[in-house]
Amino acid sequence: MLGIIDAGGWQNVVELSSGRQVEAGEKEYSKVRKLLKDFPYPGDGNDNSIEWVTNAAQRIVDFHQPHWMLLSYTQPLYTEIYLPENLTDSQNRQKRILDNILNFSNKNGYEPIIVMTGGYMPLLDEITQPSIKGLLESWIWGASVAGVSGATLEDKDVLMAHPHIAQVIDKNDVIAAHPNLHPHFIEYFPSYIVIAKEGYAFRGINSHEGKTAMADVYSKSLPVYSSLDTPQHTKDIRSIMEKALDKGKKVVLVVIEGYRFGNIPNGFTLCDNVDDWYAYRGMDLYLALHTGKPFYETEFPPVYDRSKPKSSKAKYPMSGFFNDLPEDSIGAKEGIKSGAVSSRSMITHMIANADITLECYSRERSHMGLLAAFKPNKL
Amino acid sequence: MNCNYCEWRCDLTKGKGVCGMYELRGGDIVEKHPNKWSRCHGVYIERIPIFHAWPNKRFLQLGCFSCNAACAYCINASIAIGPQEPITFTMTPEEIVDLALKSNYKGIHFGINEVTVNLPSALAVSKAAKKQGLIVGCSTNAFFTQEVAKLFSDIFDFFNISLKSISDEFYKINLGLPSAVPVMRNIKYISSHAHVEITTPVVLHGNESELPQIADLLHSINPEMAWHIFRILPKHLMANDSPPDVEYLSAMVEKVKEKMPYTYFGNFIGSNWVDTICPNCGEIAIERMCDCACGAKFLKNNTLNGNCSNCGNKLPIIDDWGNDLC
């Protein structure tokens, strides 16, 4: 898979598996280059990024006519997690996204399946490093779950007694329950995963120093809209899309990250989102939607022990923890054309594994440019 | 009574000083927030950036808050400038060193904000770390006194010093600091005592024309020094400004490489100018990539224990060249 990086108009073509530059003339891959030039990302905190997703997706439809698309909108989460509650603004933002999706689907004949993730609610309090030997690690995008690495058995009792911690997941119990876990999953699973009670958020050593007003909710069910079959579980969505594609329908999977907990739009129903103890979120949720696999059949633990060095053999250096493209992703399905646009960095191009993916290149809300990942033989 | 940590030399009998991090207590200058940290996380050394020492090794990075400068384009303004004090947590030197050892970090690096504004805590951590055989270093604007330059040189193994300009006027207008002279003085002194790499952030229509003169200065100190030219993505007061043009700056980088062969150009995704190239034969000695702001990501070491695998040239890179280098 190739990538064209666009850093404010300057473009570079790289082989994504190695991260190294590929010699390419300025006229090569002109459709992709023009897509990047014509759709500069407005920024994580800018609501025009909603139309950025939709309009760029329309351009991909115009030149590639995908049978399947992923559209992922992250503005609500990025914007609202820092703000005190303003339900009207939040509802207006949500309506704006839904209108975009409706227009896009109707215009292009797509059957939409919409999943709303990253529910949040006003923050009650933060949970900082308890008096334990292990180290609490959390991050801003999903602070209701944290990892504790290098922990002792005694630490478990302290964590379980904490008034704002709802659940403590012991690595040994997970290994015992799932004997066929991938070695990478085991290697990077922390000693414990801790889950906060509703309204509480962890603040560990990897946390962003910024103050937040909202806490994400550990969502065991998610609001879903489907013009196709109604999924019972978020993992079912993959097979529903596949069935529709096999019947010659065109499908758009839409992920809207960030909704006010309990504020479910008309037409949406709650869909199960939990296996064992784990409520799908972030990368694992995207993987489940695209592959239909439960979290314990992937390489990726729900929370990483970040005190460990990354694998020295890691490929795809621009792609986080991924060492390879998931060939079983719906975006790589044989016999279809696929495309994706997302305001969520990095995850999209790897998980969608589509013919072409456009994503913003942001880290901690710092906007650095764009990445278009594509398979030259498919365009 | 004047603080002697940085070149502002604030009279603390008259107020809280520029950084606001010290106070007088019983006739002594003391830290107001000892052992308070806003950040504590692991980084690979290339991310700092340090390219010529301990390649691909992980360091525990610590940051406090506040600064003695006020850069108009600051990318860490919420920590360095305010207006609110960021959320911090308390960790003693022993707890920090224990964490670094437990997680197999090569050492500790003070970054995120200017280390001079929490100097006693940083020194306490550094001393505890050195006792355990850890490497210690910092990123700094080097606007500190000669006494502190000596203190730092005695304990820190490596420095990334930000030389933003050689012009006092640029320092006054863009950084709120009165002069570049102490910075240049300290670079000269520290370079003869520890490993030093220089970072020069370039702002649009700002300091790019100075790059040849900065190259002359650095060449006179150590022509083999690593020099990181950063294309700044302006934030804070310059948040609406565009970053400098890559094509234009890369042409300047190629020119200054004639004087400073180990010049790198980064702080933007996809940069082609972060590999270490053997100046003798042109072979790529260490491959890196820019996947993020700040430094880079290590990809591959092509050297033979620091010597160019093509021509045998000894490259100015410090390491124990152990087997953990992939």
Reported as a single tens digit per residue, the pLDDT across B161-198 is 999 999 999 999 999 999 999 999 999 999 999 999 99
Query: What are the φ and ψ backbone dihedral angles of A291, each rounded to 5 degrees?
Result: -115, -20
Q: At A106, is the secondary structure helix, strand, or coil? A: helix
Query: Are A363 and B293 within 8 A, CB to CB?
Result: yes
Per-residue DSSP letters for A77-89? Answer: HHHHTTS---HHH
Q: Which residue shows structure tokens 């808050």?
A: B65
Is 60 exceeded by the pLDDT of residue B325?
A: no
Q: Mind telling me how many Å the CA of B55 is from chain A's nearest CA?
A: 13
Count of alpha carbons within 13 Å of B323, Cβ hemisphere only? 0
Mean pLDDT across chain B = 94
Rounded to the nearest angstrom, the minimum Cα separation between B256 and chain A is 21
Look at residue B322 in the predicted model and tell me its pLDDT: 66
> Closest Cα of chain B to A109: distance in Å?
36
Residue A320: is its pLDDT beyond 90? no
The answer to whether residue A33 neighbours chain B at the CB level (below 8 Å) is no
Shortest distance between the Cα of B161 and any Cα of chain A, in A, equals: 23
Task: Kindly indicate the confidence band of residue A364, based on its pLDDT and cuts at 50, 70 and 90.
Answer: low
Residues B69, B8 contacting (CB under 8 angstroms): no
Extended beta strands in chain B, E state: 22-25, 28-31, 36-37, 39-44, 58-63, 89-90, 107-110, 135-140, 158-162, 195-202, 227-231, 263-266, 276-277, 284-289, 297-301
In chain A, the percentage of residues whose pLDDT exceeds 70 is: 97
Among the partner-chain residues A5, A135, A209, the one whose CB lies closest to the CB of B269 is: A5
pLDDT band at B100 (very low <50, low <70, confident <90, very high): very high
Rounded mean pLDDT, B8-23: 95
Q: Is A26 on the interface with B (CB under 8 A)?
A: no
- Within its chain, how far is the Cα of B61 from the centroid? 12
Residue A8 with chain B: CB contacts under 8 Å: 242-243, 246, 268
**Cα torsion angle, A313, A317, A320, A322, sign:** negative
Distance of CA B213 to the CA centre of its chain: 20
Give the 3-state secondary structure of residue B22.
Answer: strand
Model pLDDT for residues B75-94, shown as the tens digit of each residue: 888 888 877 777 788 899 99
Statement: residue B31 has pLDDT above 70:
yes
Are the Cβ atoms of B233 and A361 closer than 8 angstroms?
no
Largest CA distance in chain A: 63
User: A218: exposed, middle or buried (C-beta count within 10 Å: 0-12, 13-18, 19+)?
Assistant: buried
User: Which residues does chain B have within 8 Å of residue A210's beta carbon, measured at their own beta carbons?
Assistant: 78, 86
Position A260 scores a pLDDT of 84
Q: Is the pLDDT of residue B237 over 60?
A: yes
- Shortest CA distance from A205: residue in chain B: B40
Label the pairing between strands A110-122 and B36-37.
unpaired
Closest CA to B64 of B42, B93, B88: B88
* Res. A365 pLDDT band, cuts 50 70 90: low
Residue B40, SS3 per DSSP: strand
Task: Say which range, A123-137, A312-326, B63-77, B99-113, has the weakest mean pLDDT.
Answer: A312-326
Q: Of A113-122, A136-145, B13-22, B279-288, which gets the smallest average pLDDT?
A: A136-145
- A106: burial class by Cβ within 10 Å (0-12, 13-18, 19+)? exposed
Average pLDDT for chain A: 93
Q: Indicate the pTM of the whole model.
A: 0.94
Sign of CA pseudo-dihedral B236, B238, B242, B245 = negative
**Residue A188 phi, psi (nearest 5):** -100, 5
Q: Record the tokens describing residue B80, joined without a space.
A: 């360095």
What mean pLDDT do residues A71-86 have? 89
pLDDT tens readout for residues A199-253: 999 987 766 667 789 999 999 999 999 999 999 999 999 999 999 999 999 999 9
Residue B124 CA to residue B110 CA, distance in Å, equals 12
- Res B326 pLDDT > 50: no
Average pLDDT over residues B252-268: 96
Model confidence at B216: pLDDT above 90 = yes
Q: What is the residue whose two structure tokens read 């064992």?
A: A276
Closest residue to A7, CB basis, from B65, B102, B268: B268
Residue A291: pLDDT over 90: yes
| A129 neighbourhood in chain B, CB within 8 Å | 89
Mean local confidence (pLDDT), A14-33: 93
A366 pLDDT more than 80? no
Q: Which residue in the block uniquely carries the two structure tokens 């030093």?
A: B196
Q: Which helix (H) or strand (E) holds A3?
A: strand A2-7
Q: Is the pLDDT of residue A296 over 90?
A: yes
- The confidence band for A26, taking pLDDT boundaries of 50, 70 and 90, is confident
pLDDT confidence of residue B150: 98
pLDDT tens-digit readout, A140-195: 777 899 999 989 999 999 999 999 999 999 999 999 999 999 999 999 999 999 99
Residues of B in contact with A12 (CB under 8 A): 270-272
Cβ distance of B289 and A318 shorter than 8 Å = yes
- Give B111's pLDDT tier (boundaries 50, 70, 90): very high
Measured between beta carbons, which residues in chain B are less than 8 angstroms from residue A317?
289, 291, 297, 299
Q: Does position B275 have pLDDT exceeding 80, yes or no?
A: yes
Section B294-312 average pLDDT: 94
| Per-residue pLDDT, A297 | 96
User: Two tokens at B60?
Assistant: 């525990």
**Structural domains of chain B in order of their starting residue, each with its CATH number:** 22-275 (3.20.20.70)
**Cα of A206 to nearest chain B Cα, Å:** 6
pLDDT at B299 over 50: yes
State whether B243 and A128 contact (CB < 8 Å).
no
**Residues B44-49, mean pLDDT to the nearest whole number:** 96
B84 and A211 within 8 Å at the Cβ level: the answer is yes
pLDDT, position B323: 47
Chain B residue numbers touching A128 (CB-CB < 8 A): 89
